[in-house]
Structure 1
């Protein structure tokens, strides 16, 4: 018998490490055996993060749950982990799907079967109020010898390197909380991440910090986010893509994600995962 999302969350919280059970078979085998679909995500506002009861919040989670519901799947088990543990956890069979605003990148495409894109996402810098050093893009970081802080595993690391920023000027930390702390403490001149996340951090800083204009970033710094699956689950990915094609951009979908800042401007357009894997 299928369990409700709330029941599964409660069970996962009580059992603790039991959500990191040994690897299971392909996703359809788990579903047919009555097992829940395990969704892995990190604490990455506003993309994907846990609520007070461990429930999956954020616009990527909301979208994913909406597509799965259209497919007839509601037996969901949320599993929170660190950002750097998402792909290894997927490969180790600790979860079946990974969300969290993960950009589709060539290096990731080697290890993850991504859905078609569900969002187009630009970068932004978290900077002191007024952006006194005028840090609007990665070239500015390079030219001023500024220190940029970003999350370990974030695509911003390679974007900065591509612009010529030296590794010594790229501080890597676990995630958004540490990015905010580094900029506030003036250990870094700018925090780098997606515009969505940097805007949320700036809004939480009581006027101390601003976010740069994402349109000042180079075109090739724009990325497309997808939902990640195991390479063994391509049959499920194909079915997910079919359901997503009908759901993405619908009134129902936009209503579900609007509270997180996702709007029609965030829709991915006609870009395909095949193109993104080859060009990002």
Structure 2
């Protein structure tokens, strides 16, 4: 009888251990950190108005505003901002140096292979930053090709791959760390046009009378791409909870009032676009 009891006890212990292990695996690394009382590390690059660090190091920008509000609605207030280079955001997430990636991260198939996205928080297009008066008449990638011009763009931006796909020679594409360096290259004449998203182009235009922004509508319609918040592939349960809270908040009066100062307007709200569709796009 004692042998049977001992055997049953060991069996129950093994079953409990297996159940706990399975639950932990399903929960994901972020859930483990939260259970341990550790902060949610919010990774972003300096890319106003999407995301940037305030003077006190806090997370600013409309993507951070939306993300932090959603996290607080989920009951998470212990949030640690982590500022890094744009090109280092996805590697930092994969290496678990950050838990969530914000900024103007377009939902692209290549990125979907490395991380998971929330449902879209907005849909945005691209534009060029060119010298004032646009003396070379640049509106499209084809204009760059026809005149054998030099384009500059921050490393990791979709505009680099888009330009190559359109036929811009790789040797005519300059990569720089961020939009400040992009502006400097155009102003100094090292590049004929800076390619970035329309929101950043609008901000860069406001920074200098020496440049202007081209018409975003001149870009192909397919350049309008959904933007989402990035999660580690093992954090499915947390991401799904985030999406549920996002669905209630997105487009609300409260949200639109909060992000108005960062130039997010109702035009940018998703209109039926989904992350699943964006991840499968050609």
TM-score norm. by structure 2 comes to: 0.89
Aligned to 1:242: 244
Gaps (5+ residues) in structure 1? 1-24
Aligned to 2:230: 228
Question: Superposition pairs for residues 260-271 of structure 1, below 5 Å?
Answer: 260-271=262-273
| Residues paired across the two proteins, number | 255
CA offsets per residue over residues 77-119 of structure 1, 9 Å max, x none?
0011111110000011111000011001101001111000111
> What is the aligned-residue RMSD (CA, Å)?
0.9
Runs of 4+ in 1 over 2 A off after TM superposition: none
TM-score norm. by structure 1 comes to: 0.89
SS of equivalent to 2:167: coil
2:157 pairs with 1:154:
yes
Question: Superposition pairs for residues 210-225 of structure 1, below 5 Å?
Answer: 210-225=212-227
Gaps (5+ residues) in structure 2? 1-27
2:202 pairs with 1:202:
no
Q: Could you tell me how far 1:255 is from its partner in structure 2? A: 1.1
SS of equivalent to 2:194: strand
CA distance in 2, matches of 1:66, 1:139: 41
CA distance in 2, matches of 1:137, 1:123: 10
Aligned match of 1:187 in 179, 187, 190?
Answer: 190
Question: Superposition pairs for residues 138-177 of structure 1, below 5 Å?
Answer: 138-177=141-180
Q: Could you tell me how far 1:140 is from its partner in structure 2? A: 1.3
Q: Could you tell me how far 1:69 is from its partner in structure 2? A: 1.4
Aligned to 2:7: none
Q: Could you tell me how far 1:139 is from its partner in structure 2? A: 1.5
The structure whose Rg is larger is 2
Q: Could you tell me how far 1:199 is from its partner in structure 2? A: 1.1
